[in-house]
Amino acid sequence: MFEGLDIGIQTAFTPFNVLMVMTGCFAGTFVGMLPGLGPATAVALMVPVTYSLDPAAALILMAGVYYGAAFGGSTSSILINAPGDSSSAVTTFDGYPLARQGRAGKALAIAAWASFSGGMLSAGALLFAAPLLSIVALSFQSPDYFVLMLMGLTAVSALSGPGQVLRSYAMAILGMMLATIGTDGISGVPRLTFGQLELIDGLSFLLIAMATYALAEVLLVVLQNKAPPENAVHTTHLRDLVLERNEIREIAPAIGRHSLLGFFIGVLPGAGATLASFLSYAVEKKFAGAGARPPFGHGNLRGVAAPESANNAASTGAFVPLLTLGIPGSGTTAIMLGALIAHGLQPGPRLYVDHPEVFWSVIVSMFLGNLMLLVINLPMTPWLARLLRVPQPVLMPVVMMFCLLGVYLVSFDAMDILVMIIIAVAAVALRWLQFPLAPLLLGFVLGGYLEDNLQRTLILYDGGWQFLWERPASLVMAVATLVFVGWSLLRRNQATGL
């Protein structure tokens, strides 16, 4: 591990990669602040830029954008009561009341320290957990990979919100359907190409990610047409960003508790930062009891610290299944997985062996990134917050242009813009019908690999399915898959009252 860590430090601390961490954190904070645009959008917008970078720098940049956006999301939650994304929605509960009381700087400082601590603690946990899991996963063969991918897809759907279970399964299947377009990996037969040569290689991952997560978000923000909230707090001063000793004593235990909780939730595929922040808020509220002063929801400092530490820890925890198993736990990590595949890398246990500089440098860069968020971005918050004054009618067309150019500048094919617009319209329709899009992206990214591994497995086992009980790893994961499916269907039945 120490040898790997050494490689990681050497790679992450090259001037260029340090610049990538800084750029990622800054760009992530910038986009994450914009109401309605969260980490997934921020990372999707960054994907075209990563194509000109080496894989390590690309992943470092995207990771920086990811936790930078989580940090930025809390700023708009606190100052204008409009979360950048769902994972920072809980921060509005106590963050915005604090801002209304004239303590916006305090709330921002607590959010920053909580995010920093959550990020650092979980990066430490990632440092130990990821290599261990990679070593176990190295013994995996095609049958195990097939079942693992099936488990990843079902876990994402099973852990989705109430009333979303079947919708999530449907979206994962739809994503896999999109992945079947193009040439079949084993037989070389073109499938569902409608005779179009452009479809022989299948749909571009970048196009799907940009359309569903970036352009569709722009359209939804326009369609939702939310007026800026009244009493928005746009200004804060540097002196307000300093925490007093009694405040640190009050929030420190909560940060410790929820950093761990967030990390473990983040490791679960599909659970993600949103569940982590909501759960940690509920747990901390119970922990504080009825005697909490001020009450939760009225500007309690722990009400800001708990969800902020949990969501940043969960963002880091999501890298465990991504780096070690090649299974993205969320839409954002699915975008990263797709971008890495486009770089010719297959995240998973072989990444640890074949590309240790990528594996370790991204972990090391997280320590650096979290430090930068605190040291550079926090003092800049009063100035960054001015961004929130830029009206949405100006911001949204600019973001739309980024989307259109992002796709065009990779292929230099105007046809891709047309396809992206069609997919974005379909994505808006799916969102309108309350279908979650993260499982679709996961299904798209994992679908091809799932099919390849199943084909290889069936050739190895002469068309039989005995690998499901003959291989211990496959057996364990198959049982887990059945448990996920059974449990999720039970939840749905309870929700429908059946």
Of the candidates 80, 73, 129, 138, the residue with the CA atom closest to the CA atom of residue 104: 80
Among 435, 449, 467, 484, binds another protein (CB under 8 A): 435
In angstroms, the CA 363 to CA 119 distance is: 11
Does the footprint of another protein cover residue 139 (CB under 8 A)? no
Our CB check for another protein shows the closer of 164 and 280 to be: 164
Tell me the window of 74-82, 172-180, 288-296, 477-485 that interacts with another protein (CB under 8 A).
Answer: 172-180
List 5, 252, 292, 454, residue binding another protein (CB under 8 A): 454
- Choosing from 100, 141, 184, 384, the residue that interacts with another protein (CB under 8 A) is 184
| DSSP one-letter string for 79-97 | HHS--SSGGGTTHHHHHHH
Enumerate residues 459-498 that contact another protein by CB under 8 A. Answer: 463, 492, 495-498
**Residues 6 or more apart from 129 whose CB is under 8 A from it?**
267, 320
**Structure tokens given for 354:** 């074949």
CB nearer to another protein: give 177 or 252: 177
- Does residue 176 interact with another protein by CB under 8 A? yes
Binding residue for another protein (CB under 8 A) from 5, 9, 199, 219?
Answer: 219
Which residues does 398 contact at the CB level (< 8 Å), separation at least 6?
A: none
Q: Which of 400, 468, 475, 480 binds another protein (CB under 8 A)?
A: 400
Q: At what angle do helices 245-267 and 301-317 cross, to 10 degrees?
A: 30
We find the least distance from the C-beta atom of residue 86 to another protein, in angstroms, to be: 13
Binding to another protein, residues 14-73 (CB under 8 A): 52
Give the residue from 141, 166, 154, 146 showing the smallest Cα distance to 482.
154
- b/e sequence 41-69, b meaning 16+ C-beta within 10 Å: bbbbbbbbbbeebebbbbbbbbbbbbbbb
Closest distance between another protein and the C-beta of residue 309, in Å? 29
Region near another protein per CB under 8 A, out of 15-23, 171-179, 293-301, 340-348? 171-179
Whether 170 and 435 have beta carbons less than 8 Å apart is answered as yes
- Of 139 and 493, the one with the shorter C-beta distance to another protein is 493
How many residues touch another protein under the rule CB under 8 A: the total is 63
In the complex, least distance from residue 446 CB atom to another protein, rounded to whole angstroms:
12
Measured CA to CA, the distance from residue 76 to residue 65 in angstroms comes to 16
Q: Which of 102, 397, 472, 486 touches another protein by CB under 8 A?
A: 397
Nearer to another protein, 18 or 458 (CB): 458
Name the segment binding another protein (CB under 8 A); options: 64-72, 181-189, 276-284, 473-481.
Answer: 181-189
Phi first, then psi: give them for residue 138, nearest 5 degrees. -65, -25
> Distance of CA 295 to CAs 98, 253, 285, 289, Å?
12, 18, 9, 9
Pick from 286, 432, 469, 472: which binds another protein (CB under 8 A)?
Answer: 432
Which of 280, 243, 241 has its CA nearest to residue 122? 280
User: CA 259 → CA 118, 213, 255, 401, 407, distances in Å?
Assistant: 4, 27, 6, 37, 37
DSSP result, 431-448: HHTT--SHHHHHHHHHHH
List the structure tokens of 128: 């130990």
Nearest residue (CB) to another protein, 138 versus 460: 460
In the bound state with another protein, the residue whose beta carbon lies nearer, of 124 and 228, is 228
Q: Supply the minimum distance, in Å, between the C-beta of residue 49 and another protein.
A: 9
Interacting residue with another protein among 66, 71, 116, 169 (CB under 8 A): 169
- Residues 189, 79: Cα–Cα separation, whole Å: 55
- Cα torsion for 217, 220, 224, 230, to the nearest 10°? 10
Among 189, 230, 249, 293, binds another protein (CB under 8 A): 189
Q: Which residues of 77-98 are buried (b: 16+ CB within 10 A; e: fewer)?
A: bbbbbbbbbbbbbbbbbbbbbb
Q: How far apart are the first and last CA of the chain?
A: 51
Closer CB to another protein, 409 or 476, in the complex: 409
Q: Check residue 180 for interaction with another protein (CB under 8 A).
A: yes
Binding positions for another protein, rule: CB under 8 A: 52, 162-167, 169-170, 173-174, 176-177, 180, 184, 186-187, 189, 191-192, 215, 218-220, 222-225, 392-394, 396-398, 400-401, 404-405, 408-409, 412, 414-415, 417-418, 421, 424-425, 431-435, 451, 454-455, 458, 463, 492, 495-498
